[in-house]
Amino acid sequence: MIGRSIRIFLVDGTSTGVRTAELGLSTIKALAVPRASLSAVTDRPEVSKTGAYVLIGDDSESPGRKKIYIGEGDTILTRLSAHNKAEDKDFWDECVLFVSKDQNLNKAHARYLEARLIKLASDAKRATLTNGTAPTVNGWLSEPDEVEMEEFISQARLLLGSLGYDIFESQSVSPPSLTSTNPIAPPPTSPSVPDFQYNGDGFAATCLIDSDAGQFIVRSGSLARKHETISLQPTYKSLRKQLLDIGVLVEHNDDSFRFSQDYAFGAPSAAAQVVSGSTVNGRAVWKTITGQTLAEWQDARLPSVPSA
């Protein structure tokens, strides 16, 4: 994967305050604004531009999960001011907006961005999406404009990730669609990285590693055990429930759930505990087809430490 340079500027000198994010040699700019700081950015040029934005907050019904709303506006500040007063959008505590530094976005571009970001968030299932409608993008833009907006979207995903949110990142590692409405390929995987398996009573799962993104991806069709042990931490009980609620885990038989799609975890133990419903060390239980544990496989690729 080719390296990219992202510049994050802390406007007020704190990591939780207003921040800007820019991608090297690109015209896109992101502005992250805590809701409490909304009145402090009214004179910033970004909020007076046309663009798309994401309202982000905690989902009170699913601990650890984010709730989001995606919108667009000719003058983004006007929309944010309205959302700040709306009772049905009281959940958000930060907004991230995306604009062009050279002001080449118009209303049609912004509507396209809104529709595509809603689709990406809906497919990723990483956050609770509150948008009531999912607009289509057919016929809105010319082919050249559509290609440019898809590049803008791929850059927006990078900037949002650098600001700490992965809500648009696809779980899928299947071959990408070649249609113009879904041209962004999933992270490539190295042929030198084997698949890892974890099997037991009521579960049988395959996991692969995306070393570029630092993710452990449980493959579609893997089985997770329904039964949960007493020792399973509440965090993973909640995560299993969330995956059931959003349809990542679906009914398979009396003993098992099935992964309806690829799903990425941030750590091998998280993946293993969701699969087995028990407290386990992921580095010890995920194994290659030859029986090598994930820990052994990783250790073999690190330089040996000379003995004292």
Whether the pLDDT of residue 243 is over 90: the answer is yes
**Residue 22 and residue 31: Cα distance in Å, rounded?**
9
More confident residue, 168 or 250: 250
In the chain, DSSP assigns E strands to 6-10, 19-23, 28-34, 51-58, 66-73, 94-100, 127-129, 196-200, 203-210, 215-218, 223-225, 249-251, 256-259, 263-265
**Residue 257 and residue 222: Cα distance in Å, rounded?**
8
Q: Is the pTM of this model over 0.85?
A: no
pLDDT band for position 307 (cuts 50, 70, 90): low
**Residue 97 and residue 22: Cα distance in Å, rounded?**
12
pLDDT tens-digit profile of 32-87?
999 999 999 999 999 999 999 999 999 888 877 899 999 999 999 999 999 999 98
Looking at residue 308, its amino acid is A
Name the average pLDDT for the chain.
87
Whether the pLDDT of residue 308 is over 70: the answer is no
Task: Provide, rounded to the nearest whole percent, the portion of the chain with pLDDT above 70.
Answer: 90
Are 278 and 203 contacting, i.e. CB atoms less than 8 angstroms apart? no
> Which pair of tokens denotes residue 33?
């604004």
Phi and psi at residue 55, in whole multiples of 5°?
A: -90, 130
Whether the pLDDT of residue 244 is over 90: the answer is yes
Residue 181 confidence (pLDDT): 33
Q: Please spell the DSSP secondary structure of 203-267, one letter per residue.
A: EEEEEEEETTTTEEEEPTT-EEES---TTS-HHHHHHHHHHHHTTSEEE-SSSEEEESS-EEESS
**Residue 2 and residue 33: Cα distance in Å, rounded?**
29
Are 165 and 66 contacting, i.e. CB atoms less than 8 angstroms apart? yes
pLDDT band for position 210 (cuts 50, 70, 90): confident
Torsion of CA 21, 25, 28, 29, to 10 degrees: 30
- The β-bridge relationship of strands 66-73 and 127-129 is parallel
**Residue 262 and residue 172: Cα distance in Å, rounded?**
5
CB atoms closer than 10 angstroms to residue 182: 15
CB atoms closer than 10 angstroms to residue 308: 3
pLDDT tens-digit profile of 9-34?
999 999 999 999 999 889 999 999 99
Most confident of 124-133, 165-174, 187-196: 124-133
